[in-house]
Amino acid sequence: MSRTSDLNRKNETAAKTDAGSLETFDVAVVGAGFSGLYMLHKARRMGLAAVAFETGDDVGGTWYWNRYPGARCDVESLFYSYSFDRKLAEDWDWTERYAAQPEILEYARHVCERYGLRPFIRFNSKISSVDFIDTDDVWRLETTSGEVVLAQFVVMATGPLSVPKKPHFKGEERFRGEMYHTGLWPHHDVSFDGKRVAVIGSGASGIQAATAVSPVAGSLHVFQRGAHYSIPAWNRPLTDADRTVFRENFEDLMAKRRQSFMGIILDTNPATFRKGCNLSTEDRHAQLESRWNHGGLLFNMAFSDTTLNAETNFEIAEFVRNKIRLIVRDPETADTLCSMHFPIGTKRTCVDTGYYEIYNRPNVHLVDTRKTPVREFTDDGLVAGDREHAFDVVIVATGFDAMTGALLAAGITGRDGRKLADEWKDGASTYLGLAMSGFPNLFTITGPGSPSVFTNMFASFELHVEWIADCIGYMRRRNHRRIEADRHAQDNWTSGVTELIEDTLYPQADSWWIGANVAGKPRRFLAFTAGHKDYSDICRNVMDNGYTGFNLN
Ligand code: NAP
């Protein structure tokens, strides 16, 4: 749409606003995943007129769309949960240490019903434009089906991993079998029984899907472009005793989560959390062995210099490679699985439930697409290198346009006609990952520049929802109509986020954290890496000092 017709439409809306013909809310929340649900609940508890728009026909966000076989969380369920209501924790029984997707989706539904949120969510409602009407200090939101509402505040709860990145493979239209992206998994049952299955991609989604499909598929080929590091989850059923200990210590544990580096409870006492480079080889090995046996994402936190010191990092990576070689019997397959091209921890480490073990099954094959790239699809399968493979089902697990994809897709235009897409053409820039200069009264939950995907998302988004709710409450009490990030504060924040990684190993990886997985995306680090606790302190200081770095009118 041209700038002129944009303005015409806005003027028309302003006139309608005067006439009071459009539904008007205090708060419009975009997205009904876990963060959107909490934002909606919080706004309603404050007595605000609030509505949420959700593309899907149910709540759950990422857990609604990513329903591929094997999908489960990589943060322990007890902590991958809300902390704002002790009674909710008392009434909900997680069954496994790492919950599977159906149980997590059920938790989202339970929360939605428990707090009576469903009537305030518009399902099958994808937001296509979000425009600021300067004259009225109000946002105009439009859905793809033409529904229009106005809201004083907009909260983008669109999630950092919600826009699937699906490469177009030459000839894929010809393929007569079934093809599904993990991030857009169909709602009907998909059978793999005895079928010839391919998985393209070996990040967290590909690893989980391949592991789940391997025992039932007739044959499974995993097409690996880059090898990833994966740590065993050692998933197990939770016992009544686990849940009792958690509930009895709920406040203390959740306070520790809030004070932690990653939103996951971790010992960062300098006496025990030490630099690997200051330890003996035996001590480093013992520490790694103990972390491996504990499993999960905390493996990378064995030492405080994992992503700072190349030698420490190499030793950790070698430790993992040695474990892979012990598990995988075929040496050539083990070599391919060990051919990582980046320091451990500089791409999100995967957490698995027997992934490397699947390569000891006779029906599972690994194809190294660095040596034999996927060239094209055929009627019956695909050609990798010179070889044609026939498949019944192809699972595409090629990731997401992370952190910025969903925000840009919402078509956001701020004051004076500024488009977010133009503002971010050289890379995303925010203040605190919460707000942007030029976009008054619009907040981003776990936006670029916040710890977000570097942490347990529940800790991250609870902090943001509570901060946003406090901010709206403050504005109401003081009769402020507008809050907007100051350009200078935003520039400083954005360069600070970049500086944080300058002396680290992170720039060595072509990760989605840096936007490198999407062709043409500006390369800029998209998360704040100094930890959840420091970030929370900064946000609290900003608030306690009357919203420093923001302009209030
Ligand atoms: P990802 O980590 O970006 O992995 C995508 C995979 O697809 C990589 O192996 C990549 O290869 C490959 N790939 C991408 N484009 C390709 C192409 N054109 N041809 C061939 N291969 C291609 O995506 P993801 O696995 O969906 O995971 C994304 C993030 O979602 C994770 O890092 C994690 O934060 C989250 N997640 C979490 C869980 C969980 O356990 N809770 C599960 C799934 C996802 P290269 O490595 O060479 O780029």
pLDDT in tens, 342-356: 999 999 999 999 999
Regarding the beta carbon of 384 and ligand 1, being less than 6 Å apart is answered no
Q: To test ligand 1's pocket by mutation, which of 163, 340, 398, 514 has the most ligand atoms within 8 angstroms of CB?
A: 398
Tell me: pLDDT of 371 over 80: yes
Return the number of other C-beta atoms located less than 10 Å from residue 236's C-beta: 11
pLDDT in tens, 192-220: 999 999 999 999 999 999 999 999 999 99
- The pLDDT of residue 282 is 96
Tell me: pLDDT of 322 over 60: yes
Tell me: pLDDT of 308 over 50: yes
Return the number of other C-beta atoms located less than 10 Å from residue 518's C-beta: 17
CA distances from 89 to 72, 111, 114, 265, 359 (A): 19, 11, 12, 17, 39
Regarding the beta carbon of 161 and ligand 1, being less than 6 Å apart is answered yes
Average pLDDT for residues 307-320, to the nearest whole number?
Answer: 98
| 407 pLDDT tier (thresholds 50, 70, 90) | very high
- The pLDDT of residue 307 is 97
Q: State which ligand 1 atom lies nearest to the alpha carbon of 167.
A: 18
Q: Map residue 169 onto helix, strand or coil.
A: coil
Of 43, 83, 45, whose CA–CA distance to 456 is shortest?
Answer: 83
CA 400 to centroid of ligand 1, rounded, Å: 7
- The pLDDT of residue 112 is 98
- The pLDDT of residue 383 is 98
pLDDT in tens, 27-69: 999 999 999 999 999 999 999 999 999 999 999 999 999 999 9
pLDDT in tens, 470-519: 999 999 999 999 999 999 999 999 999 999 999 999 999 999 999 999 99
Q: What letter does residue 163 receive in the DSSP assignment?
A: S
Regarding the beta carbon of 370 and ligand 1, being less than 6 Å apart is answered no
Regarding the beta carbon of 203 and ligand 1, being less than 6 Å apart is answered yes
Q: State which ligand 1 atom lies nearest to the alpha carbon of 347.
A: 32
Length of the chain: 553
Residues 6+ apart with CB under 8 A from 297: 74, 75, 231, 262, 264, 349, 351
The Cα–Cα gap between 156 and 30 comes to 5
Tell me: pLDDT of 191 over 90: yes
Q: Which of 269-283, 363-377, 520-534 has the lowest mean pLDDT?
A: 269-283
- The pLDDT of residue 9 is 52
CA 477 to centroid of ligand 1, rounded, Å: 45
- The pLDDT of residue 21 is 85
Report the share of the chain in percent with pLDDT over 70.
95
- The pLDDT of residue 272 is 76
The answer to whether residues 514 and 524 touch, using CB atoms and an 8 Å cutoff, is yes
Across the chain, what does the average pLDDT equal?
Answer: 95
pTM for this entry: 0.96
Nearest CA to ligand 1 atom 10: 201
| 26 pLDDT tier (thresholds 50, 70, 90) | very high
Regarding the beta carbon of 70 and ligand 1, being less than 6 Å apart is answered no
The answer to whether residues 288 and 319 touch, using CB atoms and an 8 Å cutoff, is yes
The answer to whether residues 36 and 52 touch, using CB atoms and an 8 Å cutoff, is yes
Regarding the beta carbon of 351 and ligand 1, being less than 6 Å apart is answered yes
Q: To test ligand 1's pocket by mutation, which of 66, 163, 225 has the most ligand atoms within 8 angstroms of CB?
A: 225
- The pLDDT of residue 1 is 39
The Cα–Cα gap between 328 and 330 comes to 6
- The pLDDT of residue 273 is 84
Regarding the beta carbon of 76 and ligand 1, being less than 6 Å apart is answered no
Tell me: pLDDT of 117 over 60: yes
The answer to whether residues 447 and 430 touch, using CB atoms and an 8 Å cutoff, is yes
Distance of CA 185 to the CA centre of its chain: 17
Of 444, 440, 486, 505, whose CA–CA distance to 133 is shortest?
Answer: 440
CA 165 to centroid of ligand 1, rounded, Å: 9
User: What six digits make up the tokens of 20?
Assistant: 């009071």
CA 227 to centroid of ligand 1, rounded, Å: 11
Tell me: pLDDT of 3 over 50: no
Identify which has the larger pLDDT, 269 or 412. 412
User: What six digits make up the tokens of 455?
Assistant: 């942490």
- The pLDDT of residue 17 is 53
Place of tokens 């966000």: 61
Regarding the beta carbon of 69 and ligand 1, being less than 6 Å apart is answered no
Q: Map residue 147 onto helix, strand or coil.
A: coil
